[in-house]
Amino acid sequence: MPRVTAAHETEVRERILLAAAQVFADSGYRGATMQDVVRESGLSVGAIYSYFPSKSDLYLAMCDFTSGRAMGELAVRLTAGRTIAERLAIAVAFYIDSIDTHGATPGLAALVPAWSEVDTSPAVRDMLRRRRDQLVTAGRLLVEEGIARGDLPAWVDAEVLGGAYSALLDGILLQRVEAGSSWRRADAERRARLVLELALAAAGAERPDVPEVAARPWDVAGT
């Protein structure tokens, strides 16, 4: 059944990508089978292989699609923020929203298997690095603005804080995955917002002295 329109092609592509996001989030990369994707998408094996050359290509495309969508939507939502505190709060709330699948929007949970496949293919690592760059850059820009306006301490390195925040949010993604059905969105938001509050509260203060601790390769105690 040839649907010659280009619109149809992207429609089917997305249908496959959405099914893949669901399935990979549920069972991991290796755990998910192409049959699962077939079942979830309602298409056939052959159809899927005519859109994506291999399972790993499908997975990578799904990851780019999923995180790309989220970054785009984040940019849109940030325009609604007036103060810097508001913008930061929007970014946090949005990231937490985007962890789960909502209707036609695949959730970031589908990215989790990527971290265990990093040593398997360089393409996976590249994909994660691209994503990290985007997150850190977005964070850095917000922080720089906060510093310029005096809402954040002048002694923080914007790049470092951006990196820390992207780690915090990814950690919350892991907590969401491990919590399963007992997940409470409000708890996660409280955790992420608390760090925001600490940063804003520290605006007027001096940089405190945190002792250096030498890296020490573990002289195991006990068995």
Q: Which residues are CB-contacts of 126 (< 8 A; sequence separation ≥ 6)?
A: none
* Nearer to DNA among residue 53 and residue 204 (C-beta): 53
Residue with smaller CB distance to a second copy, 57 or 115: 115
Which range touches a second copy (CB under 8 A), out of 42-50, 51-59, 184-192? Answer: 184-192
Q: Is 33 in the site for DNA (CB under 7 A)?
A: yes
- Is residue 34 at the binding interface for a second copy, with CB under 8 A as the rule? no
Piece in contact with DNA (CB under 7 A), picked from 39-47, 66-74, 119-127, 140-148: 39-47
Closest distance to a second copy from the beta carbon of 44 (Å)? 24
Q: Is 22 in the site for a second copy (CB under 8 A)?
A: no
Q: Is 3 in the site for a second copy (CB under 8 A)?
A: no
Q: Is 116 in the site for DNA (CB under 7 A)?
A: no
Which of 4, 218 has the CB closer to a second copy? 218
Looking at the Cβ atoms of 35 and 83, the one nearer to DNA is: 35
Residue from the set 10, 54, 83, 137 that interacts with DNA by CB under 7 A: 54
For the chain, what is the HEC assignment? CCCCCHHHHHHHHHHHHHHHHHHHHHHCCCCCCHHHHHHHHCCCHHHHHHHCCCHHHHHHHHHHHHHHHHHHHHHHHHCCCCCHHHHHHHHHHHHHHCCCCECCECCHHHHHHHHHCCCCCHHHHHHHHHHHHHHHHHHHHHHHHHHHCCCCCCCCCHHHHHHHHHHHHHHHHHHHHHHHHHCCHHHHHHHHHHHHHHHHHHHHCCCCCCCCCCCCCCCCCCC
In angstroms, give the least distance from the CB of 115 to a second copy.
5
Pick the piece of the chain touching DNA (CB under 7 A) from 25-33, 82-90, 106-114, 143-151.
25-33
